[in-house]
Amino acid sequence: MNDDRPADCAEALARLFDFLDSEIDEIDGDRIRQHLADCDGCLHEYDIEHHLKTLVRRSCSDAAPAELHVRIRQQLTVLRARMETSG
């Protein structure tokens, strides 16, 4: 097992939603958190997602969370495609 290995950008982003939903265990959560703390790009990205997520939760009664969720996923897809292109 390599659970103490820091997550890379691809993994951090791939698991971002699980992390935000608290659907991953503590060790994985720590690895994602650790990566986010060391990586400005992902931290910036996570910050945006985190605020959006909070916003969704706060206004879930009259907003359209599903639609917002799709938009967040589209942003992540673009970011991941950009990382793959740049190597």
- Which positions lie near Zn ion, rule CB under 5 A? 9, 39, 42
Calculate the CA 78 to chain-centre distance: 13
Residue 22 CB, shortest distance to Zn ion, in Å, is 20
Rounded-to-integer distance, Cα 87 and Cα 84, Å: 5
* Residue 9 or 56 having the CB closest to Zn ion: 9
* Residue 39 or 56 having the CB closest to Zn ion: 39
DSSP state, residue 5: S
C-alpha triplet 53, 67, 60: angle, nearest 5°: 50
* Residue 9 or 52 having the CB closest to Zn ion: 9
Residue 30 CB, shortest distance to Zn ion, in Å, is 15
